[in-house]
Structure formats: structure tokens, C-alpha cells
Structure 1
């Protein structure tokens, strides 16, 4: 695979010069045969402005808008993940800070649509099924944005095939496989991000094809335009969801292969000097890496500029970050902690309190390991007297009212049992490599075991000598002798610990889940002057510092999405459409929205992927045996253009096998689009359709001093091409009849109406589709 579109041709209109395909570009062109010139001009006049392509393009675009916008106001209730992305749009409109694992671009588009229609964001999309009408939400405007992008995706697919030089039947087939796909329709009619993602991904493929077609005219205005538009499209993909990095992999692989070809000293177009090659490399690096990165940063800058008020996303950020938000409760209510205060310590990630009770660890755990049989120290999710700890200085001669400071050594006394917190070299219940936390009586804590009760307060991003505060003073409690950090997790302990959380000493001090904060200081009287709030000024942070912190939080929480979900699915089920996702149901009318692709279209596209691999394997085997079964044009088209589409499918699909997070059917939509491109390309390959104009221009490179000449017997080849074209149209007609039938059959599940009877529901349970109302 030497390039993504090795056989692409420029559109043939009256204003576009046509060159012989693969004719070497030299400073002095070889003389052209007069008969060939006449034939080219005649073909241009006959073709005109490719009216057949333009008519098909217009009809398909119209159908795309009809299928995406038809009945878009139904249902007038919150559907599936609209609870998330509708809510985020409302937060933008209210300027309230929120946290999400996806970059901001797609959500900003929803907020922009809400702003256009004058919506104030008062509705927060709390529950599936909440009424839009009763809450006066302009939900149709919200849904219109992804529907608009989803509709535009279909003509973009058509244009990719058109720009790649494929015949009209191939263009129609690829576009219609997306046009009449229930999954693409269903996902683009709701307030979801995937329409933006898929549209930007398709645009990146189209722009790169148009850029590659200008490879013989480097550094011209159009060359730069399509290079930069490719980069911008890629930035939109990754700025919508992080899986957009797969589009970078697809385009980046093609670019790498192209650069490798440019480096070849035996290029037909002439060898490039290393400085010239360096210019090509730098131009692509700027257009496809640097520019997209700056656009990616720009959307985060907009995100921070809009969200300046404290909100539900505060807890995911550091106190330093929260101080940049107005009305932040954590920083406004923080209190300096004094020695001998009674405090409640809470884990930032699990929100469990540091807790102890008189019960002991068992002598032996289930795996046979022996414990210390000391008093249990656990994590407890509710407020309780056993969560109270007194913070005591290293030396008892500290005066009352002395502030606790960062990096000081302290001891923690469990007030109810009058014991001292301790960690020692005994394995914890669940983690043999982590240390056990327990408490010991005061006489032991003040005697031989004093050192084991010493802990260092390490305030996150704190300065030496900084005062330790409640709420905002997030910290790690590090055991001084052994240098382990107090840590907890959500896996409950057995019944002997009442299924509370395990507390242990984590040797990995840098782990972000080691962070705790003081939630409350119960010992402070209500009328204490320490509780008087001073007017707080909103602080500022450099943009890059905020951006880095948010990136870390987004990646961490994205990777933490590993819990099971009833509609999650594995990647191997996607190409075969073994199951879908229930989006919405209405019991009274027996209506439901079930996210499912068009099975007939998906199975065809998946089958042709296997056919492509088989054809390439057979061709390689034949070549190894000295049999050349393909002409140059067919092989170039198969490996370069169809191979590029297959590469796009693979790079958008195969990486999901490496992921441990929740995965759903919608993750396959970009790959499905690429598989539709492969399907259209293989249609042309199978029927061996060669456009008439391309036949006239299929000339071999001229030898020095010898003019190029057209192929012989053009009328016979034209007749054969016409027969192949008719055969491909017949195949497209049969395929589309089947695909449209499947689309229509599953429409009630895509649009959510009409309601279906039991027999009608069961008739649509082709595979493992867990449809509602089947009884």
C-alpha cells in the first residue's frame, strides 16, 4: 500500500485540465498525440460537468436530510445518554463548571445551538424519561445539530468515492450503505456526540484524498488548503472524543507511506534532494500535528473561559484549580486545622471516611495469611462517631491553637476507643504487598511503638510551611518509618469487617488515589471566630497548568470506566451486529428506541472486508508463483485506494481490543463508515469497471524522445466498459433493494414509532437483540 489514493483522478469538468494517469511530471512534457488530444476534448464535452454524479449527489443528500430529520421531535422525553450531553450544554449556558471524560468541542456545539435559540440552560436532564415539553426545553434545536451533521456525512461519503475516481455505481453504493443504516440514523437524531465524531472523521478522509491528488503540485495554494483542512478535520475528531486518535493513525499511516515513497531515489518523477524532502516532512508535520494540536488547545481555552462558576465538576479538580472558580464552596468554607482538633478524614476518590471500631482483624485470612489481630481500621461511607480522630503533634509540648503545617509529623488518636493509628510491616487483608493499618492502645503508642504511629502530612501541590486546611487542603498521609501512603479502594472486606472498605499502606506514593481531605472539624464550636468567612478573591492559573491537570483527570477517569453495563458489548460482536442498545421505552404505547444497525448492510460490508483480505492474499500468492492476474490499474486501485479505506477501518476498529473500559456498539460507527467505502470500491473491482475517459488516458510512460500513445482498439474497450458498468448497476440495484428493505423493517426501533405487537417485536429478534415488549 503505497498511498491512499494511487488511482484517484481529478474531477473532469470543463475547467479542469486532465492529465494522463501516472504520467511522469517533468519540466518539459513529452509531445502529445493529436488523436489523443481530440479524444480527451471529446470526452470532456460529452462528460460536461459530470451531471450524473451531481444529480445522484443531490438526491442522496436530500434523502439523508429526510431520514435524519423525519419525526425528530419524537420522543419528547430524555433518551439514553441525552442525560449527559444535554446536561453539559445546560452547564455551559449557566457558566457552571462540570467534568467529563470527553474533550469539549462536541459539547460546545450543543451549547452554541442552545445559545442560538435563546435557551438559558435551566433544565439539567437528570433522568431518562423526563419531559422536555413540561420543562420547556428546545430539544428539537439540540437534536437538529447532530442530525444536520449526520445528514452531511452521507454526501461526504459519496464525495470521498467521487474524488477517489470511482464510477457512479460505486459512489452510490457506499453512500447508500450509510444513508440507509439504522445505527447512523438513530445515533444522529439524539443529543449525542457521535454524529460530530463520524462527520469529522469522514471529512478528514475526504480532505486527505483531495490533498493527495495534488501530490504532483506540491506547496501550491490548493495543496496547502487541503493539507490544512485535513489537519483541522483531524483536530475536530480528537476534540470530540479521544478515540479520534484512531483517525490520526489512519491518516498518519498513509502519510508515512507517502513520505517513504518520496524518499525513494528511484522515483519516476525524479529523486528529491534531502532539503526538499525535509520541506515535505515539515509541511505535513505542521499541517497534521502542530495545527491540530493548537486547535485542540483552543477548544479547552473556550471551555475554561465559559465555565468560570463553581459547579459539580469541582470535586474532580485540585484546590488550586477550584480557587479559580467563583462561589467555590470548598475554598470558601476551608478552615485552618490546629493541633488537638477533632477531625473527620475523607478519601477523595471513594468518599469513604477513615474509620475504626473495637473489632479485631481475624487471626487468619481466607488465603491462610496471618494478621496482627489488631483493631480494624476501615473506610466507612457514612457520618459516624467512629470517624473522629484527634490530630496530635509529634511532641506533646505544642500549645493549643498552633496550626498544623505541610510536611509536619503528626499522630492520629481514635477518640472513641482512645487508641492511636499505626501502620507496620504486616500484610493488609487484600493486598499482600501493602501494609496493614491498625490502632494500638495509648501505652504502646507512647512506648516502643511510638515511631510506628508517626505520619507526615503532605499537602498536594503545597509549599513548605503551608497551613493545613480542611476541604481545600487535600493531602497524602505518609507513614514516616516505612514511607507508604494511606490508601483505600471500593472492594468490600468480608463480613468480619461488616463489608467496609479496606485501608492499607500503598508503596506507590505517586498514585493519585492516595489523596484524602479533612471533611469536617467537629471540635470547633459554632460561634468560634475560626468559622468567620473572609471575602475570597478568585485566583488565576496559567492556561497550560489548568489544561494539564484536566487532561490527567480525564484520562484517569476514562480508563476507570471498567464497570459492567447491561448493554456493553465486545468488539468482536460489532461487525456481525449481534446485539444493540436499548435507548428508550414507553410502556403504554409499546414504543421503543433500540440502537441497532441495518443487519443486511452491516453483514454485506463485513463480508466484503473478508473478501478484500482474500483477494489481496490470493494476489500475493499468485505473484509468488509467477502468475500476474491483475492489470496495473486494478492492482493500483486495489492496494492504494481500497487499501487506504481498509486501513481506515482497521485503525478505527482493532485498537478497541486493547481497551479495558466499557465499550458499546456506537464505537464501531467510524469503522462501519470505512467498511462502506471498501464495499463500494470492491464493487468496481469485482465488475472491472473502467471509466471511458480513464481508458483513453491509460498511457504508459514515454521513453526519452518518444511520444506517448493511446491504447489500441478503444471502441471495443468502450463497449466492454459499458457492459461492466451495466452489470455493476444491476448489482447495486439488487444490493440496495435488500438494504432498503432491512432499513424499513427496523425503522420502528430506530424512530421509536409506531409501537409494535408481540409478534412484530419477535420478528425483529434476529440475533441476540434484547428487545422490550417481546411478551
Structure 2
């Protein structure tokens, strides 16, 4: 697909296209005296038609605010994922460090709204259904932020179509598909991030179209303004959710095609020199890559600047990061570990203790593999005497009272059974490629099997000679001979191991789930000097180092969201709206909020996506056979402008097929917005609103179009426009009907009877109170 080509403000079908608006067709049309005269002659008429657009966008904006804000105080309790994003806003207000897989921009907006109304953030949104009224939470102010952005998204869609040069019916139709869509309304009336994401995505499309319209006036003030605003909008998209990367791909694809065209020596404007092309390239690189990245970093800087106190997100970060937070218990309570201490080792990710008991591994596992029949070493989630291990030096000598240090070779003695921890070249119960962990009697550990009991303490981001401490000293235990890391996971072992966690040797040393820490040192006397706490100073870590650490943690945990969810859905379900998501229910009143789009609008938009693909395929096939059924302007608009919208849809939809994480219907909202743009564009194409004429035939005095033929063409344009109005009106009426019918599920009231719920299960939606 080519980049945006249709970007003029065409005010009526019978008004000639101006040379300065040649971007509407993707053709660089030169200005001439005849065309200028015709433009001046139609100046008053053009101004009148502009008011039609302005009145329409004003009405649509008012309706958008009504549909988003109407009844926004209901329900007055926590709904669905408000438990997450409302909680994060409270943590910001309390300056308490938290961890989330999404970038901070959208959450900062909620915190800003809470700060505006003077809220202290004491309520932490712990459970769905908790009362906002009883806890005195300004929840309407919180919800007003996404509602505002959701309402502004509707006129932004209208403006995209307007700036792309489409007629008023097409603009109204595209905006109405968003205005009266239940999914867009439902998602923007709650404390959720998608309103920010979708609005920023729509703004990025609008800003790029306005920038592209100025491509024949490069490096001017307006050219730079809209290019930089495109970059800022893109930064807001990706700073809200990482799926905002799809907006970068969309705009980036259009920019790449634009730059490719600039390299063409056969351009109508003449060939561009390489130095001039370099200026264009670097201008776009700075505005669309560097500027968005700097804004992206800026929001994280704000994030770190606000969250200065220890909080629930500490466990996701390294001890070095935690030392930058005040009141951090892990670093404040850290105790230096000495040789011959009895310690309890805990896995950071699963919170399971390193554990052993006298039971043996079975002779054979279920798959027929043979074990060592050694003593079981497992992970156990509770405090127990069998979690105690004595840390002793690799070579027995007089080291009593000496501190254990980073990279020391140690051995671990299981205190209760007096056996030594060992790993060897025997497959673990669940992972044939990972090594088994077991223990052996002391006589064996001091004899032939001594090397197999040696382990290296490797502190995360630690220095050579750094003291090994409890709590803050997160480490990997590396088996010295085989170089595997001690690792565990949550899949329980069979009954022969009491369904405890498997412990094995992982060959992938870099894996972050290999990290453990010493949770307690039971052998230290209570009057030991090691337990005396000194005043701890909050340390400073360079911003980029903190940012890189947080990025790694965010990407890791985002990709780890693979567990099943009762309302998760696959991408092939979304365009057909086969199922939704239950957000909230009230048993007493039979009220419910069920996240679901307007089926009429979604099915129409999805159908026209297929129609568009069919039109392109048919046109290409016809051209192959020497049949040219379209005029140059219609084909340029079809491929360039509508093609850009279709590209936006594809880039915001198809990548989800490559993801392994949990997916829900709300992930389709940006793609649905793009499909609404395609729908409006195809309305104009199908009803042929614009006469099939080229630029020359529109100019007074042209030999191709004598003046006497213009009235006939104007009449044809008027007939097509009336047909387009009729079709748009019919579609919008049906769409409004669908919106109204599913309104009780979107707004959460009124409650519905069994028959009323059943009548709304069009495709077997899993609605509550259906019986």
C-alpha cells in the first residue's frame, strides 16, 4: 500500500480539486491560472460547505460526551480491571513503588486527576465490588479522564476523514461507528488504559495526514509542527501500552513508502538530490524516532521521581534498585552471612523454600526414565525444619566467623538428615534436559562425590569479594562441575513427592527465574552484633540503569502472561464479535456490565474490510487482463487513502496472531477504529460520489471538458451524493438501533429479565442472569 494520498478538504463533489490540495489524490497537480480563477470563483461556496462540516463535528462531539459521561457514576463500586489501574493511581499519590507490565503514561494521567481533586490515595482497590462511597473515593473524577479521551476520539475520527478529503456522509459514518459503539463506550467509562491508547493512536493518524498534506512545502513551520506532533502522539501511544508499537509500524510503513517515492528520479516535481533526500530522512528520523523515545524516557523519569518509597513492586527489582527506595525492609533487614550459619533459601519467583526430606525418588518415572533413587530435594512453600541448610566452605578449614562472599565455592548440608546437597548428570523428574538435585550421606560427600557437592554463590550484579547477605543478596546457585543453575517452577510433582515443587539444574544460566535469596538465618543468636541495625542511607542509581532493569522486568512478565482466563479470546474471534467479557454483576438488581461491541457496526466494518480486499484483487486482475475500470483519481484514492486506513487496521490486528500472552476483545479497539475509517472511505467509493474526471477536465475552458458539459457532471455528482447520504443514514440508523439494544449491558442498568437477557445472546454471549 502507498502512504496517505487522500488528504485534502474537499468541500463538495462538484467543486474542482485545488492544486494545493493535490494530496487528496496522491497526484502532484500543478497550479495554473485557469484553476486559480475557478478556485476564486467558488470561494464563497466553499466557505458555506465548510460550515456543514463544522456543524456536523460539533454535534458529533456533543453526542460523544453525552454517551461517554451519561450515568458514569454507576456502578459506585470497583469494576473489573479498575482493581489494577485505580490501585496504581493510589500508589502514585502515596509515592509507593509498584510494578506493572505497562508503561507509566496512562497511569500517570489517573494519578494527575486524583491529585487535581485532592485525593490522598488511601484506598487501594483491592477487590472487585468494593464500595467507592464507603471508602470515599473520587471515582467519578478518575473515570472522567478516560471518558474525556474517549469522547474526543470521536471528533478525531471525523477530522481524519475530513482532512483526507472525504464527503460529509463518509465523515459522519466513520465517526458514528465509533460514537455508537458499545465497546468503545464501555471501555472509556471505567478506570482503564484503552481510552488513552485509542485516542493517541487516532491522533497519530490525524497528525501524519496533516503533515503529509504539506509534503510539497517541506521544512516550513507547519510542516515541522505536524511532523513533531505525529512523533509526540506516537510517544503517547507506546508510553501507554506496548501494543502502541503497532502505531509506529503503521506510520513507519507510510513514511518508508514516502521516502521511497522521494528517491524516484521520475518524480513529477523532478529528481531530488541525495543531500536533500538526506535532510528529509533525518528530519523524519528525529521527529518520529528520537523525539518519541525521549518522551518515552521522560515518563519513566517522572515515574521514578514520584515513586520514592518502598512498596509492593520491590520484589520485582534487584537489591541495588531497592536501595534507592526509602523504608525498604529487604535492604534494611539484610544480615551478613557467615560460614556454618544455618540458612533458609527461598526462590524469588515462586516463593518456595529449598527443602529436602528422607523420601527417595522413585526407581522409574511415568515416562519410563530411571532416577538415581536419591533423597528428594524439592521446593516447599511453608516454613519447616526441613528447609534448614548449613553453609560450609568447599574445603574444611578454620573459617568459623568468616563472611561468605560473592563467587565463593560452598557446600550446603541438610541439617535434619545430615546429608549434602548434590547435582549430577541424571535427568530431573519433569525435565529430561535438566539435572537432578539430590543429597548424599556425609561419607560420600567427603569422598568420591566431593566435586558434585560444590556450588558457586553468584550474587546478581555483585562485585568480586562482595559480602553475601540475607534478603538483599539475591543470587544464583551454580553447580561448579556442570555449570547448571539451581531452578524450580510451579508445576507440582506427583504424590510420591507430596505435590511439592521440583528442584533441578537449569543449563540456561541467564534465566531470571534462577534467582534465590536467603530468607532467614535461624542460627544467629538474638544478641549477635550482626543483628544490630545501622541507619541506612537511600542510594542513588543512574536513571538509565534503573530504566534498563525495569524494561527487562516488564518485558519478561508481560510475555509470561500466558495463563488461561475465562474471558480471554483469540484474534479470529474479534472481527466477528463472537464473545465479550463480563466486567461487573449485581445479583440483587440483575444488573451487569458486559464488554461487547455494537454487533451491527462491527459486522459491517469487518464485511467491508473483505470487500476492500476483493476490490483491490479484482482491480489488479482486471489490469492484468488489460481492462482499466477505474479512473486515475479513484484508483489513487482507493490505494493511497483507503489503503492507508486498511494498513492501519492490518498493523493493529494481524500481529496479535504471533503473541502467546493472554488476549482479550479490548485489544481489537485500535484496529476497529481503523476499520471504521475504511468503511467511510468505501461508502464514497461504492456510491461514486465524485465524478470520474481528471484535473484537466475540471478546469474551465479545458478542451477535454467544455463548459457546457459541467452542469451535467454537477448533476451526476449531486445524485451520487444524495445516494451516499441515503446509504449513510440507513446504516447509522441501524447502528444506533444496535447500540440502544445492547445499552443495558454497556451502562450496567437497567437490570434485565431472563427473556431480555436471552434476546441479547445473539452469538451465544456468556451473559449472566440468562436463567
Shared fold (TM-score, shorter chain, > 0.5): yes
Residues 20, 67 of structure 1: CA spacing in aligned structure 2 closer, same or farther, 3 A cutoff?
closer
CA distance in 2, matches of 1:656, 1:114: 33
Unaligned runs of 5+ in 2: none
Give the match's secondary structure for 1:19.
helix
CA distance in 2, matches of 1:774, 1:460: 54
TM-score norm. by structure 2 comes to: 0.97
Residue 773 in structure 1 maps to residue 764 in structure 2: no
Any conservation in 1 of the 2:263–2:272 contact (CA below 8 Å)?
yes
Residue 44 in structure 1 maps to residue 39 in structure 2: no
Q: Which residue of structure 2 aligns with residue 743 of structure 1? A: 739
Any conservation in 1 of the 2:65–2:151 contact (CA below 8 Å)?
yes
Q: Which residue of structure 2 aligns with residue 416 of structure 1? A: 416
Q: Which residue of structure 1 aligns with residue 556 of structure 2? A: 556
Q: Which residue of structure 2 aligns with residue 19 of structure 1? A: 20
CA distance in 2, matches of 1:764, 1:10: 41
Any conservation in 1 of the 2:2–2:644 contact (CA below 8 Å)?
no
CA distance in 1, matches of 2:366, 2:748: 51
Any conservation in 2 of the 1:24–1:701 contact (CA below 8 Å)?
no
Q: Which residue of structure 1 aligns with residue 483 of structure 2? A: 483
Q: Which residue of structure 2 aligns with residue 365 of structure 1? A: 365
- Encode CA deviations 1:289-340: one digit per residue, 9 max, x unaligned: 0000000000000000000000000000000000000000000000000001
CA distance in 2, matches of 1:120, 1:616: 56
CA distance in 2, matches of 1:391, 1:25: 78
Residues 464, 42 of structure 1: CA spacing in aligned structure 2 closer, same or farther, 3 A cutoff?
same
CA distance in 2, matches of 1:73, 1:30: 55
CA distance in 2, matches of 1:23, 1:595: 39
Give the match's secondary structure for 1:48.
helix
Q: Which residue of structure 2 aligns with residue 122 of structure 1? A: 122
Residues 684, 473 of structure 1: CA spacing in aligned structure 2 closer, same or farther, 3 A cutoff?
same
Residues 698, 534 of structure 1: CA spacing in aligned structure 2 closer, same or farther, 3 A cutoff?
same
Please report how far the alpha carbon of residue 740 of structure 1 lies from its aligned counterpart in structure 2 after TM superposition. 0.3
Please report how far the alpha carbon of residue 528 of structure 1 lies from its aligned counterpart in structure 2 after TM superposition. 1.9
Residue 529 in structure 1 maps to residue 529 in structure 2: yes
Please report how far the alpha carbon of residue 47 of structure 1 lies from its aligned counterpart in structure 2 after TM superposition. 2.1
Q: Which residue of structure 1 aligns with residue 597 of structure 2? A: 597
Give the match's secondary structure for 1:486.
strand
Q: Which residue of structure 2 aligns with residue 147 of structure 1? A: 147
Residue 689 in structure 1 maps to residue 684 in structure 2: no
Give the match's secondary structure for 2:33.
coil
Please report how far the alpha carbon of residue 491 of structure 1 lies from its aligned counterpart in structure 2 after TM superposition. 1.0
- Encode CA deviations 1:689-708: one digit per residue, 9 max, x unaligned: 118xx96x823799xxxx97
Q: Which residue of structure 2 aligns with residue 544 of structure 1? A: 544
CA distance in 2, matches of 1:91, 1:462: 30
Any conservation in 2 of the 1:486–1:506 contact (CA below 8 Å)?
yes
- Encode CA deviations 1:167-219: one digit per residue, 9 max, x unaligned: 00000000000000000000000000000000000000000000000011111
Please report how far the alpha carbon of residue 41 of structure 1 lies from its aligned counterpart in structure 2 after TM superposition. 2.0
Q: Which residue of structure 1 aligns with residue 8 of structure 2? A: 9
Q: Which residue of structure 2 aligns with residue 698 of structure 1? A: 695
Residue 630 in structure 1 maps to residue 626 in structure 2: no
- Quick check: 507-516 or 153-162, which moved more? 507-516
CA distance in 1, matches of 2:303, 2:538: 18
Give the match's secondary structure for 1:426.
strand
Residues 144, 528 of structure 1: CA spacing in aligned structure 2 closer, same or farther, 3 A cutoff?
same
Q: Which residue of structure 1 aligns with residue 182 of structure 2? A: 182
Give the match's secondary structure for 2:406.
coil
Residues 377, 627 of structure 1: CA spacing in aligned structure 2 closer, same or farther, 3 A cutoff?
same
CA distance in 1, matches of 2:518, 2:705: 84
Any conservation in 2 of the 1:24–1:269 contact (CA below 8 Å)?
no
Any conservation in 1 of the 2:150–2:188 contact (CA below 8 Å)?
yes
Any conservation in 1 of the 2:345–2:353 contact (CA below 8 Å)?
yes
Q: Which residue of structure 2 aligns with residue 570 of structure 1? A: 570
- Encode CA deviations 1:321-360: one digit per residue, 9 max, x unaligned: 0000000000000000000100000011111110001110
Any conservation in 1 of the 2:95–2:308 contact (CA below 8 Å)?
yes
Any conservation in 1 of the 2:11–2:167 contact (CA below 8 Å)?
no
1:303-452 mapped onto 2 (5 Å cutoff)? 303-452=303-452
Give the match's secondary structure for 2:405.
coil
CA distance in 1, matches of 2:598, 2:327: 49
Give the match's secondary structure for 2:505.
strand
Please report how far the alpha carbon of residue 32 of structure 1 lies from its aligned counterpart in structure 2 after TM superposition. 1.9
Q: Which residue of structure 2 aligns with residue 653 of structure 1? A: 653
Residues 537, 23 of structure 1: CA spacing in aligned structure 2 closer, same or farther, 3 A cutoff?
closer
Q: Which residue of structure 1 aligns with residue 758 of structure 2? A: 762
Give the match's secondary structure for 1:3.
coil
- Encode CA deviations 1:212-250: one digit per residue, 9 max, x unaligned: 000111111100000000000000000000000000010
